[in-house]
A and B are shown apart, each in its own frame.
Chain A
Amino acid sequence: MGDARASNAQPHHAPAASARVRGGPMGNTRFVAGLLVAAAATFGAARLVDNAYVFFAGYVVLQYIVLATAWNILGGYTGYVNFGTAAFFALGAYTTVALHKLVPLPLPVMMLAGGVISGAIGLGTGYLTLRLRGTFFSIATLAMAVVVQTLITNWSFVGGSRGAYIVRPEATPLFGLDYVQYLFLLMLGLSVIAVGVARAIEHSRLGYGFAAIRDDELAAEANGVPTLRLKLIATALSGGFMGMAGAPLPYYVTYLDPASGFSLSYAVNTIAMPLIGGTGSWLGPILGAVLLGTLQQVATVTISSALSLLLVGVLLVGFVVAAPRGIIGWFSR
Protein backbone atom coordinates (compact mmCIF):
# COMPACT_ATOMS: atom_id res chain seq x y z
CA MET A 1 0.00 0.00 0.00
CA GLY A 2 2.71 2.36 1.04
CA ASP A 3 4.61 1.83 -2.17
CA ALA A 4 1.68 2.66 -4.36
CA ARG A 5 0.83 5.74 -2.35
CA ALA A 6 4.42 6.81 -2.16
CA SER A 7 4.80 6.86 -5.89
CA ASN A 8 1.70 8.89 -6.59
CA ALA A 9 2.56 11.33 -3.82
CA GLN A 10 5.91 12.33 -5.26
CA PRO A 11 5.19 14.73 -8.10
CA HIS A 12 2.85 16.96 -6.11
CA HIS A 13 3.64 16.23 -2.55
CA ALA A 14 1.68 18.60 -0.36
CA PRO A 15 -1.71 18.68 -2.12
CA ALA A 16 -1.76 14.92 -2.62
CA ALA A 17 -0.84 14.31 1.00
CA SER A 18 -3.54 16.59 2.36
CA ALA A 19 -6.14 15.25 -0.04
CA ARG A 20 -5.42 11.72 1.10
CA VAL A 21 -6.57 12.48 4.63
CA ARG A 22 -9.96 13.43 3.32
CA GLY A 23 -10.44 10.30 1.27
CA GLY A 24 -7.75 9.91 -1.29
CA PRO A 25 -6.60 11.59 -4.45
CA MET A 26 -10.08 10.94 -5.83
CA GLY A 27 -13.03 11.37 -3.49
CA ASN A 28 -14.83 8.24 -2.35
CA THR A 29 -18.12 9.38 -3.86
CA ARG A 30 -16.58 9.91 -7.26
CA PHE A 31 -14.79 6.59 -7.00
CA VAL A 32 -17.99 4.70 -6.18
CA ALA A 33 -19.74 6.51 -9.03
CA GLY A 34 -16.95 5.33 -11.33
CA LEU A 35 -17.31 1.79 -10.00
CA LEU A 36 -21.06 1.87 -10.64
CA VAL A 37 -20.48 2.97 -14.23
CA ALA A 38 -17.98 0.13 -14.67
CA ALA A 39 -20.46 -2.30 -13.14
CA ALA A 40 -23.28 -1.10 -15.39
CA ALA A 41 -21.00 -1.45 -18.40
CA THR A 42 -20.10 -4.99 -17.30
CA PHE A 43 -23.75 -5.94 -16.99
CA GLY A 44 -24.63 -4.28 -20.28
CA ALA A 45 -21.81 -6.07 -22.07
CA ALA A 46 -22.90 -9.40 -20.59
CA ARG A 47 -26.45 -8.74 -21.82
CA LEU A 48 -25.17 -7.91 -25.29
CA VAL A 49 -23.33 -11.21 -25.59
CA ASP A 50 -26.70 -12.82 -24.97
CA ASN A 51 -25.36 -16.12 -23.78
CA ALA A 52 -26.60 -17.56 -20.48
CA TYR A 53 -23.20 -19.07 -19.79
CA VAL A 54 -21.58 -15.62 -19.66
CA PHE A 55 -23.67 -14.83 -16.60
CA PHE A 56 -23.05 -18.25 -15.11
CA ALA A 57 -19.26 -17.90 -15.44
CA GLY A 58 -19.24 -14.18 -14.72
CA TYR A 59 -20.94 -14.82 -11.41
CA VAL A 60 -17.97 -16.92 -10.29
CA VAL A 61 -15.46 -14.25 -11.32
CA LEU A 62 -17.44 -11.58 -9.44
CA GLN A 63 -17.69 -13.84 -6.41
CA TYR A 64 -13.90 -14.11 -6.45
CA ILE A 65 -13.55 -10.33 -6.71
CA VAL A 66 -15.51 -10.08 -3.46
CA LEU A 67 -13.60 -12.93 -1.79
CA ALA A 68 -10.18 -11.64 -2.88
CA THR A 69 -11.03 -8.09 -1.81
CA ALA A 70 -12.31 -9.34 1.54
CA TRP A 71 -9.22 -11.49 2.07
CA ASN A 72 -7.00 -8.55 1.22
CA ILE A 73 -8.54 -6.34 3.93
CA LEU A 74 -7.04 -8.69 6.49
CA GLY A 75 -4.18 -10.28 4.54
CA GLY A 76 -2.97 -7.38 2.45
CA TYR A 77 -3.67 -4.41 4.69
CA THR A 78 -2.84 -5.84 8.14
CA GLY A 79 -0.59 -8.69 6.98
CA TYR A 80 -2.48 -11.56 8.61
CA VAL A 81 -2.77 -14.48 6.19
CA ASN A 82 -6.13 -16.21 6.48
CA PHE A 83 -6.37 -19.80 5.24
CA GLY A 84 -9.96 -20.13 6.41
CA THR A 85 -11.76 -18.35 3.55
CA ALA A 86 -13.79 -21.46 2.78
CA ALA A 87 -15.26 -21.49 6.29
CA PHE A 88 -16.48 -17.87 6.17
CA PHE A 89 -17.74 -18.37 2.63
CA ALA A 90 -19.57 -21.60 3.44
CA LEU A 91 -21.04 -20.15 6.63
CA GLY A 92 -22.68 -17.49 4.48
CA ALA A 93 -23.99 -20.18 2.15
CA TYR A 94 -25.29 -22.32 5.01
CA THR A 95 -26.96 -19.32 6.61
CA THR A 96 -28.96 -19.08 3.39
CA VAL A 97 -29.76 -22.80 3.51
CA ALA A 98 -31.01 -22.51 7.09
CA LEU A 99 -33.01 -19.35 6.39
CA HIS A 100 -34.43 -20.90 3.21
CA LYS A 101 -35.92 -23.69 5.36
CA LEU A 102 -37.06 -21.40 8.18
CA VAL A 103 -38.31 -18.16 6.62
CA PRO A 104 -38.19 -17.43 2.92
CA LEU A 105 -36.61 -13.99 2.80
CA PRO A 106 -35.49 -11.98 -0.23
CA LEU A 107 -31.95 -12.96 -1.23
CA PRO A 108 -30.36 -9.56 -0.46
CA VAL A 109 -31.61 -9.89 3.13
CA MET A 110 -30.15 -13.40 3.32
CA MET A 111 -26.83 -12.05 2.06
CA LEU A 112 -26.90 -9.50 4.85
CA ALA A 113 -27.66 -12.27 7.35
CA GLY A 114 -24.81 -14.39 6.00
CA GLY A 115 -22.53 -11.38 6.31
CA VAL A 116 -23.54 -10.82 9.93
CA ILE A 117 -23.00 -14.49 10.86
CA SER A 118 -19.62 -14.74 9.14
CA GLY A 119 -18.61 -11.33 10.45
CA ALA A 120 -19.43 -12.44 13.99
CA ILE A 121 -17.48 -15.66 13.51
CA GLY A 122 -14.62 -13.56 12.13
CA LEU A 123 -14.74 -11.39 15.23
CA GLY A 124 -14.75 -14.45 17.49
CA THR A 125 -11.94 -16.25 15.68
CA GLY A 126 -10.02 -13.00 15.62
CA TYR A 127 -10.38 -12.60 19.34
CA LEU A 128 -9.18 -16.13 19.97
CA THR A 129 -6.37 -16.26 17.42
CA LEU A 130 -5.03 -12.75 16.84
CA ARG A 131 -2.61 -13.05 19.71
CA LEU A 132 -0.82 -15.47 17.39
CA ARG A 133 1.51 -14.01 14.81
CA GLY A 134 2.45 -14.99 11.29
CA THR A 135 2.27 -18.66 10.40
CA PHE A 136 0.64 -19.54 13.71
CA PHE A 137 -2.34 -17.34 12.95
CA SER A 138 -2.65 -18.93 9.51
CA ILE A 139 -2.63 -22.43 10.96
CA ALA A 140 -5.28 -21.41 13.48
CA THR A 141 -7.57 -20.17 10.68
CA LEU A 142 -7.07 -23.44 8.81
CA ALA A 143 -8.00 -25.36 11.97
CA MET A 144 -11.04 -23.13 12.43
CA ALA A 145 -12.20 -24.04 8.92
CA VAL A 146 -11.95 -27.74 9.74
CA VAL A 147 -13.93 -27.29 12.97
CA VAL A 148 -16.71 -25.33 11.25
CA GLN A 149 -16.91 -27.88 8.44
CA THR A 150 -17.21 -30.71 10.98
CA LEU A 151 -20.01 -28.90 12.77
CA ILE A 152 -21.95 -28.26 9.55
CA THR A 153 -21.39 -31.84 8.33
CA ASN A 154 -23.05 -33.08 11.51
CA TRP A 155 -25.96 -30.66 11.47
CA SER A 156 -28.77 -32.51 9.72
CA PHE A 157 -31.10 -29.49 9.58
CA VAL A 158 -28.96 -27.99 6.81
CA GLY A 159 -28.52 -31.33 5.10
CA GLY A 160 -25.56 -32.72 7.02
CA SER A 161 -23.12 -34.69 4.94
CA ARG A 162 -25.83 -35.56 2.37
CA GLY A 163 -26.11 -31.94 1.36
CA ALA A 164 -29.14 -29.75 0.80
CA TYR A 165 -31.25 -29.17 -2.32
CA ILE A 166 -32.46 -25.64 -2.81
CA VAL A 167 -35.31 -24.89 -5.18
CA ARG A 168 -34.99 -21.47 -6.77
CA PRO A 169 -38.04 -19.21 -6.38
CA GLU A 170 -40.45 -19.36 -9.35
CA ALA A 171 -40.82 -15.64 -9.80
CA THR A 172 -37.73 -13.63 -10.68
CA PRO A 173 -37.68 -10.68 -8.31
CA LEU A 174 -36.32 -8.05 -10.69
CA PHE A 175 -37.73 -6.85 -14.04
CA GLY A 176 -38.36 -10.41 -15.18
CA LEU A 177 -34.62 -11.13 -15.29
CA ASP A 178 -33.46 -14.68 -15.65
CA TYR A 179 -32.52 -16.00 -12.17
CA VAL A 180 -28.83 -16.42 -12.96
CA GLN A 181 -28.79 -12.88 -14.31
CA TYR A 182 -30.35 -11.76 -11.04
CA LEU A 183 -27.61 -13.56 -9.07
CA PHE A 184 -25.01 -12.00 -11.35
CA LEU A 185 -26.46 -8.57 -10.68
CA LEU A 186 -26.47 -9.12 -6.91
CA MET A 187 -22.85 -10.26 -6.94
CA LEU A 188 -21.96 -7.29 -9.11
CA GLY A 189 -23.53 -4.97 -6.56
CA LEU A 190 -21.72 -6.72 -3.72
CA SER A 191 -18.38 -6.40 -5.48
CA VAL A 192 -18.97 -2.67 -5.94
CA ILE A 193 -19.65 -2.36 -2.20
CA ALA A 194 -16.66 -4.51 -1.21
CA VAL A 195 -14.23 -2.66 -3.48
CA GLY A 196 -15.65 0.70 -2.38
CA VAL A 197 -15.18 -0.21 1.29
CA ALA A 198 -11.68 -1.57 0.70
CA ARG A 199 -10.58 1.57 -1.08
CA ALA A 200 -12.17 3.86 1.49
CA ILE A 201 -10.26 2.00 4.22
CA GLU A 202 -7.00 2.27 2.30
CA HIS A 203 -7.02 6.06 2.37
CA SER A 204 -8.43 6.48 5.88
CA ARG A 205 -7.09 6.62 9.41
CA LEU A 206 -8.09 2.96 9.68
CA GLY A 207 -5.96 2.14 6.64
CA TYR A 208 -2.92 3.84 8.12
CA GLY A 209 -3.47 1.88 11.32
CA PHE A 210 -3.75 -1.40 9.37
CA ALA A 211 -0.54 -0.62 7.47
CA ALA A 212 1.26 0.19 10.72
CA ILE A 213 0.22 -3.20 12.11
CA ARG A 214 1.45 -4.93 8.95
CA ASP A 215 4.79 -3.14 9.03
CA ASP A 216 5.59 -3.45 12.74
CA GLU A 217 2.97 -4.35 15.29
CA LEU A 218 5.07 -3.48 18.34
CA ALA A 219 5.96 -0.05 16.97
CA ALA A 220 2.32 0.49 15.98
CA GLU A 221 1.17 -0.17 19.52
CA ALA A 222 3.89 2.13 20.92
CA ASN A 223 2.62 4.89 18.62
CA GLY A 224 -0.93 4.75 19.88
CA VAL A 225 -2.47 2.24 17.46
CA PRO A 226 -4.96 -0.02 19.30
CA THR A 227 -3.70 -3.08 17.45
CA LEU A 228 -6.10 -5.70 18.83
CA ARG A 229 -9.17 -3.56 18.14
CA LEU A 230 -8.04 -2.78 14.60
CA LYS A 231 -7.28 -6.41 13.86
CA LEU A 232 -10.75 -7.37 15.10
CA ILE A 233 -12.29 -4.77 12.77
CA ALA A 234 -10.29 -6.31 9.93
CA THR A 235 -11.31 -9.91 10.69
CA ALA A 236 -14.96 -8.96 11.14
CA LEU A 237 -15.08 -6.97 7.88
CA SER A 238 -13.14 -9.58 5.97
CA GLY A 239 -15.23 -12.46 7.32
CA GLY A 240 -18.46 -10.52 6.76
CA PHE A 241 -17.78 -9.90 3.08
CA MET A 242 -16.77 -13.53 2.59
CA GLY A 243 -20.06 -14.60 4.16
CA MET A 244 -22.02 -12.25 1.91
CA ALA A 245 -20.20 -13.66 -1.11
CA GLY A 246 -21.21 -17.16 -0.04
CA ALA A 247 -24.85 -16.41 0.72
CA PRO A 248 -26.22 -16.67 -2.86
CA LEU A 249 -24.25 -19.88 -3.53
CA PRO A 250 -27.07 -22.33 -2.66
CA TYR A 251 -29.34 -20.62 -5.23
CA TYR A 252 -26.54 -20.63 -7.76
CA VAL A 253 -25.64 -24.32 -7.47
CA THR A 254 -29.11 -25.45 -6.19
CA TYR A 255 -27.38 -28.31 -4.37
CA LEU A 256 -24.89 -27.66 -1.58
CA ASP A 257 -22.90 -30.17 0.43
CA PRO A 258 -20.10 -29.49 2.92
CA ALA A 259 -17.38 -30.88 0.66
CA SER A 260 -18.12 -28.36 -2.08
CA GLY A 261 -19.02 -25.43 0.17
CA PHE A 262 -15.86 -25.81 2.23
CA SER A 263 -13.68 -26.72 -0.74
CA LEU A 264 -10.04 -25.83 -0.16
CA SER A 265 -9.94 -24.32 -3.64
CA TYR A 266 -11.81 -21.27 -2.29
CA ALA A 267 -9.06 -20.67 0.24
CA VAL A 268 -6.29 -21.28 -2.29
CA ASN A 269 -7.82 -19.12 -5.03
CA THR A 270 -8.60 -16.34 -2.61
CA ILE A 271 -5.00 -16.17 -1.45
CA ALA A 272 -3.58 -16.54 -4.96
CA MET A 273 -5.64 -13.76 -6.51
CA PRO A 274 -4.45 -10.82 -4.36
CA LEU A 275 -0.89 -12.17 -4.53
CA ILE A 276 -1.05 -12.23 -8.33
CA GLY A 277 -2.69 -8.82 -8.58
CA GLY A 278 -0.80 -7.15 -5.74
CA THR A 279 -1.81 -6.96 -2.09
CA GLY A 280 -1.07 -3.29 -1.47
CA SER A 281 -4.16 -1.73 -2.97
CA TRP A 282 -7.82 -2.36 -3.83
CA LEU A 283 -6.98 -2.86 -7.51
CA GLY A 284 -4.73 -5.89 -6.94
CA PRO A 285 -7.43 -8.35 -5.84
CA ILE A 286 -9.66 -7.26 -8.76
CA LEU A 287 -6.89 -7.79 -11.31
CA GLY A 288 -6.00 -11.16 -9.78
CA ALA A 289 -9.61 -12.30 -9.56
CA VAL A 290 -10.46 -11.26 -13.13
CA LEU A 291 -7.28 -12.79 -14.55
CA LEU A 292 -7.24 -16.05 -12.62
CA GLY A 293 -11.02 -16.38 -12.38
CA THR A 294 -11.52 -15.91 -16.12
CA LEU A 295 -8.66 -18.24 -17.03
CA GLN A 296 -10.13 -20.91 -14.75
CA GLN A 297 -13.57 -20.56 -16.27
CA VAL A 298 -12.20 -20.75 -19.81
CA ALA A 299 -9.98 -23.71 -18.94
CA THR A 300 -12.88 -25.52 -17.28
CA VAL A 301 -14.99 -25.26 -20.43
CA THR A 302 -12.34 -25.75 -23.08
CA ILE A 303 -9.97 -28.24 -21.48
CA SER A 304 -10.89 -29.69 -18.10
CA SER A 305 -11.91 -28.54 -14.63
CA ALA A 306 -8.87 -30.20 -13.11
CA LEU A 307 -6.69 -27.86 -15.13
CA SER A 308 -8.09 -24.83 -13.33
CA LEU A 309 -6.34 -25.92 -10.14
CA LEU A 310 -3.08 -26.45 -12.01
CA LEU A 311 -3.45 -22.93 -13.38
CA VAL A 312 -3.46 -21.47 -9.86
CA GLY A 313 -0.24 -23.26 -9.03
CA VAL A 314 1.55 -22.34 -12.22
CA LEU A 315 0.49 -18.69 -12.08
CA LEU A 316 1.38 -18.41 -8.41
CA VAL A 317 4.86 -19.87 -8.93
CA GLY A 318 5.33 -17.68 -11.98
CA PHE A 319 4.37 -14.52 -10.12
CA VAL A 320 6.42 -15.32 -7.04
CA VAL A 321 9.47 -15.66 -9.30
CA ALA A 322 8.81 -12.87 -11.82
CA ALA A 323 6.68 -10.34 -9.93
CA PRO A 324 6.73 -10.85 -6.16
CA ARG A 325 4.66 -7.71 -5.68
CA GLY A 326 2.01 -8.72 -8.16
CA ILE A 327 0.78 -7.00 -11.31
CA ILE A 328 0.49 -3.70 -9.39
CA GLY A 329 4.17 -4.03 -8.55
CA TRP A 330 5.10 -3.63 -12.22
CA PHE A 331 3.63 -0.16 -12.30
CA SER A 332 4.88 1.26 -9.02
CA ARG A 333 8.50 1.59 -8.02
Chain B
Amino acid sequence: MSALLEVRGLGKRFGGFVALNDIVLEVADGERLGLIGPNGSGKSTLVNCLCGTLRNESGQVRFAGKSLNGLSAHERSRLGLARSFQLPRPFGTMTLAENLRIPILYAVHARDGVRVADVPLRCADLLAMVGLADKADRLPRDLTQIEMRKLELARAMASEPRLLIADEAMAGLSHQEVDDILALLLQLNAQGITIIMIEHIMRAVLAFSQRLVVLVAGRKIADGAPQDVVRQPNVVEAYLGS
Protein backbone atom coordinates (compact mmCIF):
# COMPACT_ATOMS: atom_id res chain seq x y z
CA MET B 1 0.00 0.00 0.00
CA SER B 2 1.25 3.47 -0.87
CA ALA B 3 1.17 6.27 1.68
CA LEU B 4 -1.74 8.67 1.21
CA LEU B 5 -0.62 10.97 3.97
CA GLU B 6 3.00 11.56 4.90
CA VAL B 7 4.00 13.73 7.82
CA ARG B 8 7.69 14.49 8.33
CA GLY B 9 9.15 16.27 11.33
CA LEU B 10 6.03 18.32 11.98
CA GLY B 11 6.36 20.89 14.77
CA LYS B 12 3.99 23.47 16.19
CA ARG B 13 4.45 25.81 19.12
CA PHE B 14 2.18 28.36 20.79
CA GLY B 15 4.60 30.95 22.15
CA GLY B 16 6.94 29.02 24.41
CA PHE B 17 4.67 25.97 24.58
CA VAL B 18 5.64 23.15 22.25
CA ALA B 19 2.35 21.58 21.17
CA LEU B 20 3.78 19.20 18.60
CA ASN B 21 7.37 18.05 18.39
CA ASP B 22 8.88 16.29 15.39
CA ILE B 23 5.83 14.22 14.48
CA VAL B 24 6.43 11.54 11.86
CA LEU B 25 3.41 9.72 10.52
CA GLU B 26 2.41 7.76 7.46
CA VAL B 27 -1.12 6.73 6.63
CA ALA B 28 -1.67 4.23 3.84
CA ASP B 29 -4.44 4.51 1.29
CA GLY B 30 -7.54 2.78 2.63
CA GLU B 31 -6.17 2.42 6.16
CA ARG B 32 -8.07 2.85 9.45
CA LEU B 33 -5.82 4.62 11.88
CA GLY B 34 -6.61 5.32 15.52
CA LEU B 35 -5.01 8.33 17.15
CA ILE B 36 -5.14 8.50 20.93
CA GLY B 37 -3.51 10.46 23.69
CA PRO B 38 -4.40 12.13 26.99
CA ASN B 39 -6.11 15.53 26.98
CA GLY B 40 -3.73 18.24 25.83
CA SER B 41 -1.40 15.81 24.11
CA GLY B 42 -1.74 17.64 20.79
CA LYS B 43 -4.26 15.48 18.90
CA SER B 44 -6.51 18.33 17.85
CA THR B 45 -3.51 20.56 17.12
CA LEU B 46 -2.24 17.85 14.79
CA VAL B 47 -5.63 17.69 13.05
CA ASN B 48 -5.63 21.49 12.72
CA CYS B 49 -2.13 21.44 11.22
CA LEU B 50 -3.05 18.67 8.78
CA CYS B 51 -6.24 20.46 7.70
CA GLY B 52 -4.69 23.89 7.40
CA THR B 53 -6.61 25.57 10.22
CA LEU B 54 -3.28 26.12 11.95
CA ARG B 55 0.10 26.58 10.26
CA ASN B 56 2.89 24.30 11.41
CA GLU B 57 6.24 26.02 11.91
CA SER B 58 8.38 23.11 10.83
CA GLY B 59 8.07 19.88 8.95
CA GLN B 60 6.39 18.63 5.81
CA VAL B 61 2.92 17.30 5.15
CA ARG B 62 2.32 15.49 1.88
CA PHE B 63 -1.09 14.27 0.79
CA ALA B 64 -1.63 12.09 -2.27
CA GLY B 65 1.85 13.00 -3.49
CA LYS B 66 1.34 16.79 -3.12
CA SER B 67 2.97 19.01 -0.53
CA LEU B 68 0.35 20.74 1.60
CA ASN B 69 2.71 23.36 2.97
CA GLY B 70 1.29 26.85 2.55
CA LEU B 71 -2.11 25.63 1.35
CA SER B 72 -5.15 27.04 3.12
CA ALA B 73 -7.84 24.86 4.65
CA HIS B 74 -10.23 25.23 1.71
CA GLU B 75 -7.53 24.21 -0.77
CA ARG B 76 -6.80 21.10 1.29
CA SER B 77 -10.47 20.16 1.40
CA ARG B 78 -10.55 20.44 -2.37
CA LEU B 79 -7.65 17.99 -2.59
CA GLY B 80 -9.76 15.44 -0.73
CA LEU B 81 -8.96 15.99 2.92
CA ALA B 82 -12.05 16.26 5.12
CA ARG B 83 -12.58 16.60 8.84
CA SER B 84 -15.39 16.56 11.30
CA PHE B 85 -15.17 18.95 14.20
CA GLN B 86 -14.91 17.79 17.80
CA LEU B 87 -17.74 20.13 18.76
CA PRO B 88 -20.20 20.06 15.85
CA ARG B 89 -20.12 23.29 13.86
CA PRO B 90 -23.16 23.18 11.59
CA PHE B 91 -24.26 26.16 9.47
CA GLY B 92 -27.00 27.28 11.81
CA THR B 93 -29.33 29.19 9.48
CA MET B 94 -29.28 26.50 6.79
CA THR B 95 -31.37 23.36 6.59
CA LEU B 96 -29.58 20.03 6.84
CA ALA B 97 -29.74 19.60 3.06
CA GLU B 98 -28.28 23.06 2.56
CA ASN B 99 -25.50 22.28 5.04
CA LEU B 100 -24.38 19.46 2.76
CA ARG B 101 -24.67 21.66 -0.30
CA ILE B 102 -21.73 23.84 0.81
CA PRO B 103 -19.01 21.18 0.42
CA ILE B 104 -20.64 19.95 -2.79
CA LEU B 105 -20.65 23.44 -4.32
CA TYR B 106 -17.28 24.50 -2.98
CA ALA B 107 -15.11 21.40 -2.56
CA VAL B 108 -16.43 18.89 -5.13
CA HIS B 109 -17.32 21.37 -7.87
CA ALA B 110 -13.97 23.12 -7.43
CA ARG B 111 -12.19 20.02 -8.69
CA ASP B 112 -11.39 20.03 -12.39
CA GLY B 113 -14.29 18.88 -14.49
CA VAL B 114 -16.17 17.37 -11.57
CA ARG B 115 -19.90 18.08 -11.29
CA VAL B 116 -22.48 16.47 -9.07
CA ALA B 117 -25.27 15.90 -11.57
CA ASP B 118 -28.18 16.12 -9.14
CA VAL B 119 -27.21 18.08 -6.04
CA PRO B 120 -30.53 17.69 -4.14
CA LEU B 121 -30.46 13.93 -4.77
CA ARG B 122 -26.87 13.71 -3.56
CA CYS B 123 -27.80 15.64 -0.38
CA ALA B 124 -30.74 13.31 0.19
CA ASP B 125 -28.54 10.23 -0.29
CA LEU B 126 -25.94 11.51 2.16
CA LEU B 127 -28.61 12.28 4.75
CA ALA B 128 -30.11 8.83 4.21
CA MET B 129 -26.67 7.30 4.76
CA VAL B 130 -26.52 8.78 8.27
CA GLY B 131 -30.22 8.22 8.95
CA LEU B 132 -31.31 11.86 8.79
CA ALA B 133 -33.30 11.69 5.55
CA ASP B 134 -36.56 12.74 7.19
CA LYS B 135 -34.96 15.87 8.66
CA ALA B 136 -33.57 17.29 5.40
CA ASP B 137 -35.58 20.51 5.75
CA ARG B 138 -35.01 21.01 9.45
CA LEU B 139 -32.50 23.39 10.96
CA PRO B 140 -29.49 22.10 12.93
CA ARG B 141 -30.89 23.55 16.16
CA ASP B 142 -33.68 20.92 16.03
CA LEU B 143 -31.16 18.07 16.19
CA THR B 144 -30.08 15.94 19.13
CA GLN B 145 -26.42 15.56 20.01
CA ILE B 146 -25.92 12.32 18.07
CA GLU B 147 -27.82 13.68 15.07
CA MET B 148 -25.50 16.67 15.13
CA ARG B 149 -22.50 14.31 15.02
CA LYS B 150 -24.06 12.46 12.12
CA LEU B 151 -24.66 15.71 10.26
CA GLU B 152 -21.02 16.60 10.88
CA LEU B 153 -19.92 13.30 9.32
CA ALA B 154 -22.36 13.59 6.42
CA ARG B 155 -21.06 17.07 5.66
CA ALA B 156 -17.47 15.84 5.74
CA MET B 157 -18.49 13.04 3.38
CA ALA B 158 -20.26 15.44 1.04
CA SER B 159 -16.86 16.77 -0.05
CA GLU B 160 -16.07 13.24 -1.37
CA PRO B 161 -12.80 13.00 0.53
CA ARG B 162 -10.01 10.48 0.18
CA LEU B 163 -9.05 10.97 3.81
CA LEU B 164 -11.51 11.65 6.61
CA ILE B 165 -10.31 12.81 10.00
CA ALA B 166 -13.00 12.15 12.60
CA ASP B 167 -12.09 14.28 15.61
CA GLU B 168 -13.84 12.73 18.63
CA ALA B 169 -17.02 12.05 16.71
CA MET B 170 -18.29 9.89 19.59
CA ALA B 171 -17.47 11.93 22.69
CA GLY B 172 -20.43 12.15 25.03
CA LEU B 173 -22.57 9.61 23.19
CA SER B 174 -24.28 6.58 24.72
CA HIS B 175 -23.09 3.02 24.22
CA GLN B 176 -25.58 2.35 21.42
CA GLU B 177 -24.86 5.68 19.75
CA VAL B 178 -21.12 4.95 19.76
CA ASP B 179 -21.87 1.69 17.95
CA ASP B 180 -23.96 3.59 15.39
CA ILE B 181 -21.15 5.98 14.56
CA LEU B 182 -18.63 3.15 14.58
CA ALA B 183 -20.68 1.18 12.06
CA LEU B 184 -20.96 4.29 9.93
CA LEU B 185 -17.19 4.86 9.91
CA LEU B 186 -16.51 1.22 9.06
CA GLN B 187 -19.01 1.45 6.22
CA LEU B 188 -17.24 4.55 4.86
CA ASN B 189 -13.88 2.82 5.08
CA ALA B 190 -15.31 -0.15 3.18
CA GLN B 191 -16.13 2.32 0.41
CA GLY B 192 -12.40 3.06 0.16
CA ILE B 193 -12.07 6.14 2.33
CA THR B 194 -9.00 6.34 4.51
CA ILE B 195 -9.97 7.31 8.06
CA ILE B 196 -8.05 8.71 10.99
CA MET B 197 -10.14 8.34 14.13
CA ILE B 198 -9.32 10.45 17.14
CA GLU B 199 -11.07 9.10 20.15
CA HIS B 200 -10.99 8.57 23.90
CA ILE B 201 -13.41 5.66 23.94
CA MET B 202 -10.97 2.73 23.88
CA ARG B 203 -13.63 0.17 23.06
CA ALA B 204 -14.40 2.04 19.83
CA VAL B 205 -10.76 2.76 19.00
CA LEU B 206 -9.75 -0.87 19.40
CA ALA B 207 -12.72 -2.13 17.40
CA PHE B 208 -12.00 0.33 14.61
CA SER B 209 -8.26 0.72 14.20
CA GLN B 210 -5.92 -1.37 12.12
CA ARG B 211 -3.07 0.65 13.57
CA LEU B 212 -2.80 2.83 16.63
CA VAL B 213 -0.72 5.95 17.18
CA VAL B 214 -0.26 7.47 20.64
CA LEU B 215 0.58 11.12 21.27
CA VAL B 216 1.79 12.29 24.64
CA ALA B 217 2.81 15.89 25.32
CA GLY B 218 3.23 16.63 21.63
CA ARG B 219 5.38 13.60 20.86
CA LYS B 220 4.52 10.36 19.18
CA ILE B 221 5.40 7.62 21.68
CA ALA B 222 3.90 4.60 20.00
CA ASP B 223 2.83 3.46 16.55
CA GLY B 224 1.80 -0.10 15.75
CA ALA B 225 -0.78 -2.84 16.03
CA PRO B 226 -3.47 -1.74 18.53
CA GLN B 227 -3.20 -4.73 20.87
CA ASP B 228 0.59 -4.32 21.10
CA VAL B 229 0.49 -0.56 21.52
CA VAL B 230 -1.93 -0.58 24.47
CA ARG B 231 0.41 -2.98 26.33
CA GLN B 232 3.51 -0.82 25.79
CA PRO B 233 4.75 0.30 29.23
CA ASN B 234 5.15 3.97 28.23
CA VAL B 235 1.58 4.08 26.88
CA VAL B 236 0.18 2.52 30.05
CA GLU B 237 2.22 4.98 32.06
CA ALA B 238 0.93 7.97 30.09
CA TYR B 239 -2.66 6.99 30.76
CA LEU B 240 -2.46 5.52 34.25
CA GLY B 241 0.72 7.02 35.70
CA SER B 242 3.73 4.98 36.75
Residues on A lying within 8 angstroms of B by beta carbon are 1-3, 5-6, 9-10, 13-14, 17-18, 21, 205, 208-209, 211-212, 214-216, 218-227, 280
Contacts and interface: CB of A to CB of B under 8 A. Distances in A.
A209 B137 contact: no
A2 B137 CA distance: 11
A212 B102 contact: yes
A3 B109 CA distance: 25
Among all A-B residue pairs, the 5 with the closest Cβ atoms: A224-B107, A2-B93, A224-B106, A215-B91, A219-B89
Contacts of B101: 208
Contacts of A215: 90-94
A216 B74 CA distance: 14
B95 A2 contact: yes
Given A10-B137, A222-B85, A223-B77, A211 B105 contact: no
B53 A222 contact: yes
Nearest to A280: B93
Query: How extensive is the interface on chain B, given as a class?
Result: 35 or more
Interface string B96-138: 0110011101111110000000111001000000000000110
23 contacts: A1-B93, A2-B92, A2-B93, A2-B94, A6-B137, A9-B137, A10-B137, A17-B120, A205-B109, A208-B101, A215-B91, A216-B90, A216-B92, A218-B89, A220-B102, A221-B52, A222-B51, A223-B106, A224-B74, A224-B102, A224-B107, A225-B102, A226-B74
B162 to A, nearest CB: 14
Given A14-B120, A17-B120, A224-B74, A2 B91 contact: yes
A211 B94 CA distance: 8
B139 A6 contact: yes
B106 A214 contact: no
A225 B91 contact: no
A224 B137 contact: no
A214 B105 CA distance: 17
Chain A binding surface SS class = helix
B155 interface: yes
From B105, B108, B110, residue with most partner A Cβ within 10 Å:
B105
B119 A223 contact: no
Nearest to A14: B120
Contacts of B52: 221
A221 B73 contact: yes
A54 to B, nearest CB: 39
B137 A221 contact: no
Given A21-B119, A223-B77, A209 B136 contact: no
Nearest to B110: A224
A130 to B, nearest CB: 14
A10 B105 CA distance: 22
B232 interface: no
Contacts of B91: 2, 211-212, 215-216, 219-220
Given A13-B137, A218-B85, A225-B102, 18 more contacts: A2-B95, A3-B93, A9-B95, A9-B137, A13-B136, A18-B118, A18-B119, A211-B94, A216-B90, A216-B92, A218-B89, A221-B77, A223-B155, A224-B77, A224-B102, A224-B106, A224-B107, A224-B159
A5 B93 CA distance: 10
From B92, B95, B110, residue with most partner A Cβ within 10 Å:
B95
